[in-house]
Amino acid sequence: MTQVLDLVGIFVFALSGALVGVRRRLDVVGMAVLASMTALGGGILRDLILDARPVAFTSVGYVVVPLAATVIVFFWHPHVLRVMPVVNVFDAAGLGLFCAVGTEKAMNAGFSPLHAVLLGVITAVGGGVLRDVLSGQVPILLYDRQFYAVPALLGSALMAALHVADLRGWPATLAAAVLTFGLRIAAVRFRLQAPLARGVAAQE
């Protein structure tokens, strides 16, 4: 079940990466690269830090899913854009799942709670950072005007706290994922944004 949810999250992240490729007027190869980096980049970075074989290289599904998302966006991107509210819901769910799983793996590997939280955030937003760098945009992690990294940070913190309290397994993962999901959906609904330095005007 966890792998199925993982692949669903990867698919949605890949859709967002491929859509960026469309907006940047990239060809199908560029779209596939952005889709794959967005979907798999965070998990690969996490596993490399954990000194483990990246999960993305253990199953064909992790390669096929981003490519399938690229094909869908390549042919039907106007339709994908029309259902973006639904895609955003799944994206928020993927964000919650990825930060919780990343934090849990770090805690199980003996990382301190602080470092585990950082690794959870890397798992959740690392792919987006790679996507933004490759597409020539300011990484969302550095300019969190969409309130994306903060929910991942708080979800990861909850996951680490529950692990320290010896509350583990799927209930802990679900709690951290739901917190992240709820904060991200609330941010979209109420247009929440991380604050800028005092006196600095927001970019249009």
**pLDDT score, position 144:** 64
pLDDT at 204: 54
What pTM value is reported for the model?
A: 0.89
Give the separation between CA 36 and CA 56, rounded to whole angstroms: 10
Say what the pLDDT of residue 166 is.
Answer: 94
Q: Which of 114, 116, 98 lies closest to 106, judged by CA?
A: 116
Question: Which residues in the chain come in under a pLDDT of 50?
Answer: none
3-state secondary structure of 105: helix
pLDDT of residue 145: 63
Cα 80 off chain centre by: 19
The 10s digit of each residue's pLDDT in 90-124 is: 889 889 999 999 999 999 999 999 999 999 999 99
SS3 202: coil
